[in-house]
C-alpha cells in the first residue's frame, strides 16, 4: 500500500539559509499535517491543511510557511534557519471528509534537518 512520502530524508543547512520539505500524502487523502520533533521531544504540531486550505495552526514560527497544492502534496518552507530548527519534521495525512470513525493519521518517515 502507498504510504506518505517525504523528501528529502536528510538535509543539512547553514544558519540563515532556507530549506524546503515536501510531503506527498496517501492517494485520496485530502488532509496534511506537519509536526516538528526535536531531540528527545514529543512531536509538536506546526500546521495542517484540508482541501488546500489551512485548517489549523500550531507553534509554527513566522519564519516558516507552508501550503498544500492542487495535487494535495504539501511543502514546508523554512527561512532564516536557526540552530534550534534542527529536528525531525514529520508529515502525516488523513482522509478528512469521511462518514464515521476516528481521523487516523498516517505518518511519513520524516525529514531530518540539521542546521550548522
Partner 1 sequence: AQTVTQSQPEMSVQEAETVTLSCTYDTSENNYYLFWYKQPPSRQMILVIRQEAYKQQNATENRFSVNFQKAAKSFSLKISDSQLGDTAMYFCAFMKPWNTDKLIFGTGTRLQVFP
Considering the complex, state which of residue 26 and residue 88 has its C-beta at the smaller distance from partner 1. Answer: 88
Q: Tell me the DSSP string of 98-115.
A: -SSS----EE---EEEEE
Shortest reach from residue 72's CB to partner 1, in Å: 13
Residue 108: partners with Cβ closer than 8 Å, 6 or more residues away: 3, 4, 5, 6, 23, 90, 91, 92
Residue 10 C-alpha cell reads as 536528510
Decide if residue 94 touches partner 1 (CB under 8 A). Answer: yes
Number of residues that bind partner 1 (CB under 8 A): 29
Considering the complex, state which of residue 8 and residue 58 has its C-beta at the smaller distance from partner 1. Answer: 58
The C-alpha atoms of residue 33 and residue 55 are separated, in whole angstroms, by 9
Note whether 108 and 92 are within 8 A (CB): yes
Decide if residue 106 touches partner 1 (CB under 8 A). Answer: yes
Contact pick of 1, 27, 28, 42 for partner 1 (by CB under 8 A): 42
Which residues of this protein are in contact with partner 1, per CB under 8 A? Answer: 31, 33, 37, 41-45, 48, 50, 55-56, 58, 88, 90, 92, 94, 96-98, 101-107, 109-110
Amino acid at each position: 500500500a502507498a504510504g506518505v512520502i517525504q523528501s528529502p530524508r536528510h538535509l543539512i543547512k547553514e544558519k540563515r539559509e532556507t530549506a524546503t520539505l515536501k510531503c506527498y500524502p496517501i492517494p485520496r487523502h485530502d488532509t496534511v499535517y506537519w509536526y516538528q520533533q526535536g531531540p528527545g521531544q514529543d512531536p509538536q504540531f506546526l500546521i495542517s491543511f484540508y482541501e488546500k486550505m489551512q485548517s489549523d495552526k500550531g507553534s509554527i514560527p513566522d519564519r516558516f510557511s507552508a501550503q498544500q497544492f492542487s495535487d494535495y502534496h504539501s511543502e514546508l518552507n523554512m527561512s532564516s534557519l536557526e540552530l534550534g530548527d534542527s529536528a525531525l519534521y514529520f508529515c502525516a495525512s488523513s482522509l478528512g471528509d469521511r462518514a464515521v470513525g476516528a481521523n487516523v493519521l498516517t505518518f511519513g518517515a520524516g525529514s531530518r534537518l540539521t542546521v550548522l
